[in-house]
Structure 1
Amino acid sequence: MHTLFSFRNRMAIIAVGVALGAVSLLFTDNMARQLQQKEQHDVLLWAHAMERVHRDVSGDLLQDPLIADIMSNGNNIPFIITDENLEVINFHLIPEEVIDHPEKLRRAIDRLSEENTPIPVKFWWAKHYHIIFYGHSALLKSLYYFPYVQITVITAFILLGFVAFRSSKHDEQNRVWIGLAKETAHQLGTPTSSLLGWIEYLRSQPVDQEAVEEMNKDLAHLMKIVDRFSKIGSETPLTPANINETVGESVMYFRKRIPRNVTLDYNGLAIAPVQASINTALFEWVVENLMKNSLDALQGHGAIEVRIGADDRHVTVDVKDTGKGIPKSNWHRIFEPGFTTKTRGWGLGLSLSRRIIEEYHQGKIAVVESEIGRGTTIRITLKRLFE
């Protein structure tokens, strides 16, 4: 219900923005039309005034006080006045270098003719006539371009508003998850402390001490999980670590807790050690999460292989299984929050894994190989450190 309400709010804001933009565009377009009509009317008045001036046509019409006052006083309309042979008689708001250059002059006359229809000025006392070529004023041009500016600004505001809304919702969700994680860690603190006491009690009793030790390992693992939850949303310091040993500890713990028909192989203890900067608690969680996903994909039968690799720049950790595989269309989607093919769970494991590797460790995590019915390989890539 809250999501639907938020969606309606967003759509309402967008609709209001579009409506305001449309009204503003219509108003601006109407203003531009009115100004264009006024300028055309002004130039027609100039033409009629010129036709009624009783003087020799060879004279400069703009020297007549009436014509000069009508055409030049406060006039911001560019124009060129020529005779019937297109010889320039007068001009206004046109650069002199254009007037003095025949080719540029021709282009200017053509441009003015496209903007407005030229007006011939005929004199009743002579066979000669003049032609007024005129264009749009700077104000009119601004009004013509202004709608495009409006559309750009309105679009930018809508996009910025949408991004800000998404960002605020994302931050709100992050705060909720961080609070939930910290509260979970806090709530788990009491039972784990109690279990520590019970394990110490069992060690003093005539029971299978090997089983007690395995229980202690499980409790230690549970305390690691509590520690990881408590670190969410806090500073995550990275320290140099032996990747072979770090991954090896997770593999050894996991190996004793998998079904009999599942094998777990690891090459890390048989190759030269490699180092990278990691947060051990979070990195171990990612490796364990990948192995847990592989185990789920096997459905109780198959093999998991964890392999360490390195070159001059990078360290890689591959977790490979012989499970059901992932369609190629879902290789990227499996890392999105909420995406899951399981009947249980919230689909957050791989999403958190990607965040831990990419945002905290500045590394990469991706599906590098998968085939339906044959299995999947997911690779973690980190920057390698040298001693």
Structure 2
Amino acid sequence: MKFGRNILSFRNFSFRNRVVVIFVGLALGVLSLLYTNKMAQRLKEKEQHDVVLWTHAMERANRDVMGNSLQDPLIQDIINNSNNIPFIITDENLKVHYSHLVPDEILDHPDKLRRQIDRFTDENPPVQIRYWWSSDHYHIIFYGQSALLKSLYYFPYIQLLVITAFILLGFVAFRSTKHDEQNRVWIGLAKETAHQLGTPTSSLLGWLEYLRTQPVDQSAVDEMGKDLAHLMKIVDRFSKIGSETPLTPANINEVVGESVMYFRKRIPRNVTLDYNGLAIAPVQANINAALFEWVVENLMKNSLDALQGHGAIDVRISSDDKYVMVDVRDTGKGIPKSNWKRIFEPGFTTKTRGWGLGLSLSRRIVEEYHGGKIAVVDSEIGKGTTIRVTLKRSFEQ
């Protein structure tokens, strides 16, 4: 119970850490967005103020020289060299008299010019330059936003994307690190289990040979020998976890058949186990026989648990030009469709006992070691489930 509480505490702690990291990242992004928007608003007000100052300067220049202030070198120098605000100056008939940072292709095309003026008007209200000698004639400044101001508007969104990317990368790195750490723990545990089982199995082999020389029921001794041989297979499987696993061509019918035959003698009397593999043409696939037998046994044990002591299990082999399929079907309680994928997740189980690792381990053996697939292909509540293992077929050279 204490061990379970420690695991739960560790999971909650890591979850809280992830929530805190995400919250801090979002808070920084929002603060950056607010601060940058405030800076952008101030810059916009400054640019509008600058344009008003230009207007006053041009109006004063017109009054002083009674001419066109746009031709005044000082006014041109102030406008051209002291800002990066794009603008167009027109008369009251929208005839262009002067422009800055607006391409000629827009100025020379009436429709494009009109659209550009509309865009400037949406960004900032136009400003009129009045002549002191006539109220009927005036210039209009249509101006937009500087490149710097536009950059400030987009900058916080870029920051949010960068912060989000860092959070995601950190989360992936964290998950990967924890996953690798858990893998090392499980691999070490598996190898230590295999090592610890080695001594008693060797001792049991000696006792078994002793029993063969004694006046006891030799059929019982033979069955004990089969169980011991199976136990040694389990030790071998555990020792292979985390190691390089060679795959060799094997007769799938025989490999699956051996597991079925061993399992058939150890199931309840009210459960039937059928197998078609010995009655059809043999098919081959590149497998590690010890690990693949483990998968088949896990599937049959899972089916037996679903039957609850009464029903049928049917193991069937089929193939096509590319693949060989092994189906394990039962008449048990079935699986809700929402759990078809979840049953292969580590720790997921609907049983009152067990760690929920059998199907997860089977998926790992099939997909990572053998490059195959394992999935629920059919299940109906109260009628049963079919799980299929698919491997790439091989042919004799």
TM-score category, normalised to shorter length: over 0.9
- Displacement of 1:195 after TM fit? 0.8
Q: Distance in 1 between matches of 2:26 and 2:380?
A: 47
Q: What TM-score comes out, normalization by structure 1 length?
A: 0.96
Q: Distance in 2 between matches of 1:100 and 1:325?
A: 75
Aligned residue number for residue 19 of structure 2: 11
Q: 1:326-345 CA distances to partner (integer Å, 9 max, x unpaired)?
A: 22232222112111121110
Q: 1:214-270 CA distances to partner (integer Å, 9 max, x unpaired)?
A: 111111111111111111111122111110011011111111111222221111111
Question: Residue 138 in 1 paired to residue 153 in 2?
Answer: no
Q: Distance in 2 between matches of 1:202 and 1:386?
A: 44
Question: Residue 309 in 1 paired to residue 325 in 2?
Answer: no
Match of 1:68 among 72, 76, 80: 76
Q: Distance in 2 between matches of 1:99 and 1:371?
A: 72
Q: 1:306-332 CA distances to partner (integer Å, 9 max, x unpaired)?
A: 111111111111111222222223222
Q: Which runs of 5+ in 2 are unaligned?
A: 1-8
- Displacement of 1:202 after TM fit? 1.4
Match of 2:65 among 46, 55, 58: 55
Residues 199-238 of structure 1: matches in 2 within 5 Å? Answer: 199-238=208-247
Question: Residue 355 in 1 paired to residue 364 in 2?
Answer: yes
- Displacement of 1:4 after TM fit? 2.2
Question: Residue 152 in 1 paired to residue 161 in 2?
Answer: yes
Residues 115-194 of structure 1: matches in 2 within 5 Å? Answer: 115-127=123-135, 128-194=137-203
CA contact (8 A) 2:58 2:70 kept: no
- Displacement of 1:207 after TM fit? 1.8
Q: Distance in 1 between matches of 2:202 and 2:70?
A: 101
CA contact (8 A) 2:375 2:387 kept: yes
Match of 2:91 among 83, 86, 103: 83
- Displacement of 1:211 after TM fit? 1.6
Q: What TM-score comes out, normalization by structure 2 length?
A: 0.93
Q: Greater CA deviation, 43-52 or 321-330? A: 321-330
CA contact (8 A) 2:212 2:221 kept: yes
Q: Distance in 1 between matches of 2:197 and 2:48?
A: 82
Q: Distance in 1 between matches of 2:319 and 2:77?
A: 86
Q: Distance in 1 between matches of 2:331 and 2:110?
A: 81
Q: Distance in 1 between matches of 2:88 and 2:381?
A: 77
Match of 1:273 among 272, 277, 282: 282
Q: Distance in 1 between matches of 2:385 and 2:105?
A: 73
Q: 1:43-100 CA distances to partner (integer Å, 9 max, x unpaired)?
A: 100000000113344x4x3331221222112321101000111111010100011111
Aligned residue number for residue 339 of structure 1: 348
Q: Greater CA deviation, 43-52 or 247-256? A: 247-256
Question: Residue 264 in 1 paired to residue 273 in 2?
Answer: yes
Q: Distance in 2 between matches of 1:372 and 1:130?
A: 81
Runs of 4+ in 1 over 6 A off after TM superposition: none
Tell me which amino acid in the other structure corresponds to 1:7: F
Q: Distance in 1 between matches of 2:380 and 2:123?
A: 65
Tell me which amino acid in the other structure corresponds to 1:31: M
User: Does the residue aligned with 1:304 lie in a helix, a strand or coil?
Assistant: strand
Tell me which amino acid in the other structure corresponds to 2:108: D
Aligned residue number for residue 368 of structure 1: 377
CA contact (8 A) 1:298 1:324 kept: yes
CA contact (8 A) 1:52 1:123 kept: no
Aligned residue number for residue 297 of structure 1: 306
Q: Greater CA deviation, 13-22 or 239-248? A: 13-22
Q: Distance in 2 between matches of 1:376 and 1:27?
A: 58
Q: Distance in 1 between matches of 2:66 and 2:222?
A: 120
User: Does the residue aligned with 1:52 lie in a helix, a strand or coil?
Assistant: helix
Aligned residue number for residue 92 of structure 1: 100
Q: Distance in 2 between matches of 1:292 and 1:85?
A: 89
Aligned residue number for residue 43 of structure 1: 51
Q: 1:170-198 CA distances to partner (integer Å, 9 max, x unpaired)?
A: 22222221111111111111111111111
Question: Residue 386 in 1 paired to residue 395 in 2?
Answer: yes
Match of 2:259 among 250, 271, 286: 250
